[in-house]
Structure 1
Amino acid sequence: MKLSINQLRALEAVVRTGSFSAAAKELGISQPSVSNHLLALEKHYCAQLIHRNGRLAEPTELCSEVLSRIRSVLAMTREVEQILEGRKQLQTGTIRLGYSTYQFALPVISKFMEQYPDVNIEARAMASHDLMPLLQDGNFDVAFISAKSPPPEVNAFEMRIEQMVAVVGKEHPLAQFEMLQWKQLADLPLIQREKSSETRRVFEANAIKAGISLKTVLALGSWGSIVTSVQSGMGVGIAMAGEVTELDNLVAIPIDDNELTVSHFLICLPEMQHIASIQAIFDIASQ
C-alpha cells in the first residue's frame, strides 16, 4: 500500500473536526470510507494515529508530530489542483485569513482582491491571541496580528509599529492635552478590547510597570463598538494610533511612555509560506 492523498485528507479532517462523522460530511464521503482510510493507514504502518473515545477522535502523539507536514502536503495538493483547473496560478482557489485590526488588514486584502479577483477570500476578525491557535490548527492560511514580537513558530512580516493612545470625544476634558501622563489615567473609566487583545495586554503590562491601577468598565470586541461607547461619554478608549481615523470624530492622545508600542504582523506557518496565494499576500503587504 502506498500513502494516498485521500487518506491524508481523511486523517487531517478527523483531527480538525474531532469526529469521523463530521470529517465524512466535510469531505463528502461516507463515514465508513473515512474509517477505512484511517484503518488502512494504521494497519500498514503498525501505529495508532487516532484515539477513539466514543464519538470523539483525538490525534495521538505520532499523529501530532506529522500533522503540520500533512497539512503542508494537502495545501500543495490544493494548489496543484487549482493550477490545473484554473490553467493559471491564482485564477481560482481560496485563501482563508484572520485579522485583529481591520484598518491595517483591509488595505492589503483590497489590493489582493484587485490583483487576483478570481481567488475567493474567507476572512474573520478576532483578537490576536485567539487567531494564533486557529492558524496553528489549519483554520487560517494567514493572519494579521498585533504583538510586541512575532511568535517564534511562525513566518512573520512586520507591517508597522503603532503607538498606543487614549481616545476621547472632542469635548472631553482630556482632549486639550497633547500628551498624557500615566497618573492622569489612574481610576478613569476605560474602554478596552477583550482580554485576549494584544493592545490590552501591552497597555495593562505597562500600567503595572508605571505603578498605575486601572479601571476598565467595558471590554469590547470591535473598534466600532469602542468608538460608539467613547462618543457616548461612557469612558476613555484605549487603542493603537493607526486605528483612529477622521471619520471617528475622536481625539487620540499619546501617553508619555516610550515602551507603549505594539507592532502589527502578517504571519503564516513556515511550511505554508511557499504557497502561491500566501506568497502573493506577503508581497502585497511588503509594498
Structure 2
Amino acid sequence: MNLFQLRAFDAVAREGSFTRAAARLFISQPAVTGHIKTLEEHYQITLLRRTARRVELTEEGIKLAAITRAMFGLVDEAQVMLEANRQLLTGRLEVAADGPHMVMPMLASLRARYPGITVNLRLGNAQETLAALLSEHVDVAVLTEIEPRKGLTLRPLVESRICALVPASHPWLALPEGIDIAQLDQIIMVLREPTSITRRTFDEACDKAGVNPRVLLELDSREAVTEAVAAQLGVGIVSSIEVSHDPRVGAVPIKGEGLANRHMLGCMERRAELRLIKAFMALAPEHTP
C-alpha cells in the first residue's frame, strides 16, 4: 500500500478540492490526481466523483476517509510531539466559529505572536461548528451554549446578552436602560431560524415571561435580519457581541430572565497538548473580560 497515494486521497477528502489538496501537501495538482488515479486503478474502486463544480466522496470513499483521517491525524500528532521543543515558526490551524466577532480578535493575537502560522477559518451555525470539532475536521472552535462533555476541553470566553435590533429612527433607541421583554408581546418581529442559538435563547425567555411576539419572517443569517430591520419589516434580535455598525439600525438592551448566552473556546481533550492547539487555547484568558 502506497502512503503517498493515501495521503493525497486524505487531503482531497478533507479539502473537497484537488487544488486545495495540492496546496495542503505542497505538491502539484497533477501529482495529487495521479496518486489518486493509481490508487483507484490498483484496487479497482471509485473513491471520488468529479463534477464541474466540486469533488464528492463515494460510499467507499467516505469509509476510507474515516480511516485516513484517523491514521494521518496520529501521524500529525507524532510529528508535533517530536517537534515540541521547536518554536511555532510554521504550522496550520483549522478553526471553526459560530460567528466572526469573537474569533477575529483571537486570530489577530495569534498572528501577532506567531506570524508564520496559517489559519483556515470555517464559519457556520452552532450545530455545524460543534459537529466540525467533534468530527475533528477542525482543531479548535468558538462555541455558544455548549454543555461540558467527556472528551471535550472548554475554556470560558464571554457572556453576551440578547438585544432588540430596530431601525435607526425607532423611539426605543432613546431609552438608555433599554426595554423590558414584556414590551415585545405582540410586536412584529423578524428572527433567525429556530435552530439558531440566539433565537432559541430568546424563545425560551419569551416562554418563561409569557411573551408572544408575532414572527413575520424567519431568516437564515444575521445579515438578512439586519436588512429586514433596516427595511422596517419588524424588530429583530441580536447578540450584544454581534451588534452591527450599520447606521440604518441600532441595538436596544432587553431586560428579562434567561437572555444571556455563554461563549467558550473548545478543543478535543486528547489533542489539547498539541503545541499549536495549546497555543491557541492559551489565548482564551486574554479575550475574557
TM range (shorter): 0.7 to 0.9
1:253 corresponds in structure 2 to 253
Task: Render the CA deviation track for 1:125-177: whole Å, top value 9, x for unaligned.
Answer: 21111111122223211111211635554211110111212122342133244
Q: 1:220 to 1:32 in 2, by over 3 A?
A: closer
Query: Is the Cα–Cα contact under 8 Å of residues 148 and 261 in structure 1 kept in the other structure?
Result: no
Amino acid at match of 1:204: D
Q: What residue in structure 2 maps to residue 140 of structure 1?
A: 138
Q: Structure 1 residue 104: deviation in Å?
A: 1.3
- Answering whether residue 263 of structure 2 is matched by residue 264 of structure 1, we say yes
Query: What are the residue-to-residue correspondences of 1:193-232 with 2, within 5 Å?
Result: 193-214=192-213, 215-222=215-222, 224-232=223-231
Percent sequence identity over aligned pairs: 22
Contact kept? 2:165, 2:237, Cα under 8 Å:
yes
Does the 8 Å CA contact 1:181/1:255 hold for their aligned counterparts? yes
Residue of 124, 127, 132 corresponding to 2:125: 127
Change (3 A) 1:57 1:69: closer
* The 10-residue stretch of structure 1 (151-160 or 245-254) with the greater mean CA deviation from structure 2: 245-254
Which letter does structure 1 place at the counterpart of 2:35?
S
Q: Cα distance, 1:8 vs. partner?
A: 7.7
Structure 2 unmatched runs, 5+: 23-28, 48-56
Question: 1:105: Cα distance to partner?
Answer: 1.2
CA RMSD of aligned residues (A): 3.9
2-structure distance, mates of 1:80, 1:198: 37
Asked if the contact 1:191–1:220 (Cα under 8 Å) also holds between the matched residues in 2, the reply is no
Q: 1:4-15 residue pairs with structure 2 within 5 A?
A: 9=7
Contact 1:12–1:70, Cα closer than 8 Å, also in 2: no
Which structure 2 residues correspond to residues 22-101 of structure 1 after superposition, within 5 A?
Answer: 28=32, 30-31=35-36, 34=39, 55-57=58-60, 70=71, 72-77=73-78, 79=80, 83=83, 88-101=86-99
Name the counterpart of 1:46: none
Residues 284 and 5 (structure 1 numbering): CA distance in 2 closer, same or farther, change over 3 Å? farther
Q: Which amino acid aligns with 1:281?
A: F
Indicate how the Cα distance of structure 1 residues 190 and 26 shifts in structure 2: closer, same or farther if over 3 A, else same: farther
1:175 to 173, 176, 182: 173
Alignment size in residue pairs: 262
Amino acid corresponding to residue 252 of structure 1 in structure 2: V
The separation in 2 between residues aligned to 1:161 and 1:27, in whole angstroms, is 48
Q: TM-score, normalised by structure 1?
A: 0.72
TM-score norm. by structure 2 comes to 0.72
Cα distance, 1:181 vs. partner?
3.0
Cα distance per residue 1:45-69 (max 9 Å; x no partner): xxxxx9xxx9412777xx97x8886
- Give the unaligned 5+ runs of structure 1: 40-49
SS at 2:179's partner residue? coil
How many Å separate the matches in 2 of 1:33 and 1:93? 29
Tell me, yes or no, if the aligned pair for 2:156 and 2:284 is still in contact at 8 Å: no
CA shift in 2, pair 1:7/1:32, >3 Å: closer
Q: Displacement, 1:210?
A: 2.7
> Relative to 1, partners in 2 of residues 1:71 and 1:164: Cα closer, same or farther, differing over 3 Å?
farther
Residues 239-268 of structure 1: per-residue CA shift (max 9 Å, x gap)? 2212226665613222322x2211111111
Instruction: Rate the CA distance shift 1:246–1:73 in 2: closer, same or farther, 3 A.
Output: same
